[in-house]
Amino acid sequence: MEGKLGSAIAVTILAAVAIANSSAAQEATRTPLDRVQSVYGLSVDPADDATLLLGTGYGLLRAMPDGMAEIIAPPRAAVIGLAANPNEPARQVLIGVGENGVSVGLFTLESNASGWTAVPGTDGETGVALTSLSVSRLDTAKLAGLDKTIHLSEDGGLSWTSLETTPEKTISVELSGTEPSQIFAATMTGLMVSHDNGQTWQASYSGEAPATAVASLSGGRVAAFIYRTGLVMADEATLDWQLVGTGFKDRYLRVLTEDPSSPGKLYAVADTGAVLLSRDGGASWTSFESNDLAEPDRIAAGETLYADNCASCHGAGGIGENPEDPSAKDEFGFKAPALNNDMHAWHHSDAGLRATIREGSPRNERMIAWQEVLSDEEIDSILAYVKSTWSIRSLACQGARHMACMEQ
Ligand code: HEC
């Protein structure tokens, strides 16, 4: 299992470069989010806190809650690193990689500048091609990133030093938010911490399970994702880890970041590329897609509408029609499928589910076009309710991403 996890992580970087260079990616400027599967970095869009910037194999994307992403310039390359300064979210850094894995360089976004500016000397064969970028909360000029080793910069990315003492099989690196010489490394053999700028390392979270992501949070806290355990958090001062979020099953988080303007609001990227959002400090998660609908009032309204209009066929809570009889059929040869985790409702994107509910089934008259009966607003509330019955795994595997979940 660990071997599989390791090779999956290594392979995604190569896949990113291939996708960025495909002509299809260059033509499509708007793409459904569930088709974007290699996401390496995430930050809250400085122009609009309802949208996100994603560093992906397709380049830099702006992701919207309607489930679409648009490609924004520059660079025309895979963006393998993207991070915001936690104290000044309008200041960001990204690293792009073009054909054959050659760096197109480090770019910075400054709060008062109109766009991304290339940092001279960081591109080409000797340039930086780092993933897992991290900007220190304590010193904006201090950056960390990862290729085979951890790299550190003290001058905003102009010059970098490689850490020969990097723990084996490091997946993700993060600079401490409280201690100037503290660094975290999520590795295949667990979460490691260094108190001396990376010279020596110790295990931080007990056990040998792979750690796949680590992020410094506001308030002197740090979060990490432990494979098959879940999301754990600690105060940096004590590093006494507590389990905060479970239910990921075989999926894991690759990227984790806190909304700089809203402590307790966390964004994450699952191994499938799905962008997830937690509003309660990591305990419960929803998909970024349609997160604007996932409000308690909306879900409650959807639950009532579901009970009144849908439960007669799809069952209470979405368990499906006649779940105890697998061979049950209606006059068209179908039964109303489960809409919870049990069947494959989550194989459809939100747009796909919305279309089925609005337009009905072309092959089954029992599933009518609900747009004749319910408003779009009501259909959206039902969708929010249905998704609230799903596990984090189903959310991470929703839509086109479900294929990646079947392979493993
Ligand atoms: C009279 C029975 C009936 C009612 C009421 C009904 N459905 Fe359906 N629904 C079906 C059947 C049967 C299918 C399977 C259609 C097919 O496979 O072509 C279906 C399919 C679906 C699907 C596709 C699921 C998938 O996994 O592909 C969705 C989504 C759905 N219904 C949502 C709803 C919602 C939301 C409501 C209430 C607004 C509703 N349905 C009310 C019978 C019903």
Q: Which of 335, 367, 382 to mutate to test the pocket of ligand 1 (most atoms within 8 A of CB)?
A: 367
Average pLDDT over residues 92-106: 90
CA 382 to ligand 1: nearest atom: 35
Measured in Å, residue 372 CA sits from the centre of ligand 1 at: 15
Express each pLDDT in 115-128 by its tens digit: 889 999 999 998 99
Q: Are residues 159 and 25 in the same domain?
A: yes
Measured in Å, residue 400 CA sits from the centre of ligand 1 at: 20
111 pLDDT tier (thresholds 50, 70, 90): confident
CA 345 to ligand 1: nearest atom: 26
Measured in Å, residue 367 CA sits from the centre of ligand 1 at: 5
Number of domains in the chain: 2
404 pLDDT tier (thresholds 50, 70, 90): confident
Measured in Å, residue 178 CA sits from the centre of ligand 1 at: 52
**The CATH number of the domain where 352 resides is what?**
1.10.760.10
**Helix/strand/coil for 392:** helix
Instruction: In whole angstroms, give the CA distance from residue 77 to residue 21.
Output: 7
Q: Are residues 13 and 88 in the same domain?
A: yes
Residue 197 · residue 183 · CB < 8 Å: yes
**The CATH number of the domain where 87 resides is what?**
2.130.10.10
Task: State yes or no: pLDDT of 192 exceeds 60.
Answer: yes
Instruction: In whole angstroms, give the CA distance from residue 98 to residue 38.
Output: 15
Q: Which of 213, 237, 391 is nearest to 318 (CA)?
A: 391
Residue 183 · residue 137 · CB < 8 Å: no
Measured in Å, residue 314 CA sits from the centre of ligand 1 at: 7
Instruction: In whole angstroms, give the CA distance from residue 10 to residue 6.
Output: 6
The β-bridge partners of 175 are 183
Express each pLDDT in 32-65 by its tens digit: 999 998 999 999 998 898 999 999 988 999 999 9
Last residue of a domain, one of 289, 306, 340: 289
Burial class from Cβ neighbours inside 10 Å (0-12, 13-18, 19+) for residue 67 reads buried
Could you tell me the pTM of the whole model?
0.91
CB-based contacts of 66: which residues, under 8 Å, 6+ apart? Answer: 289, 290
Instruction: In whole angstroms, give the CA distance from residue 207 to residue 226.
Output: 10
Measured in Å, residue 311 CA sits from the centre of ligand 1 at: 10
Give the H/E segment covering residue 192: strand 190-194
CA 310 to ligand 1: nearest atom: 37
Average pLDDT over residues 259-275: 95
Q: Are residues 232 and 327 in the same domain?
A: no
CA 343 to ligand 1: nearest atom: 26
Mean of pLDDT over the chain: 90
Residue 141 · residue 178 · CB < 8 Å: no
Express each pLDDT in 312-341 by its tens digit: 999 999 999 988 888 888 888 889 999 999
Last residue of a domain, one of 240, 256, 289: 289
Measured in Å, residue 336 CA sits from the centre of ligand 1 at: 5
Residue 387: domain span: 293-407
Q: Whose structure tokens read 């894995």?
A: 101
Q: Tell me, what's the pLDDT at 327?
A: 85
Structure-block tokens of residue 34:
């569930």
Instruction: In whole angstroms, give the CA distance from residue 135 to residue 194.
Output: 17
Q: Are residues 244 and 153 in the same domain?
A: yes
Instruction: In whole angstroms, give the CA distance from residue 277 to residue 355.
Output: 24
Instruction: In whole angstroms, give the CA distance from residue 158 to residue 264.
Output: 33
Whose C-alpha lies nearest to ligand 1, atom 30?
357
Measured in Å, residue 337 CA sits from the centre of ligand 1 at: 7
Q: Which of 279, 282, 183 is nearest to 230 (CA)?
A: 282
Q: Tell me, what's the pLDDT at 226?
A: 98
CA 347 to ligand 1: nearest atom: 26
Instruction: Give me the percent of the chain exceeding a pLDDT of 90.
Output: 77
6 pLDDT tier (thresholds 50, 70, 90): low
Q: Are residues 268 and 138 in the same domain?
A: yes
C-alpha to C-alpha distances, 213 to 102, 237, 238, nearest whole angstrom:
25, 19, 19
Residue 269 · residue 16 · CB < 8 Å: no
Last residue of a domain, one of 233, 262, 289: 289
Residue 318 · residue 386 · CB < 8 Å: yes
Q: Are residues 143 and 235 in the same domain?
A: yes
Q: Are residues 93 and 13 in the same domain?
A: yes
- Sign of the alpha-carbon dihedral angle for 24, 11, 160, 239: positive
Q: Which residues line ligand 1 (CB under 6 A)?
A: 309-310, 312-314, 330, 334, 336-337, 339, 343-345, 353, 356-357, 361, 363-364, 366-367, 370, 382
H helix runs in 261-375, sequence order: 296-309, 311-314, 350-359
Neighbours of 260 (CB within 10 A): 20
Q: Are residues 355 and 308 in the same domain?
A: yes
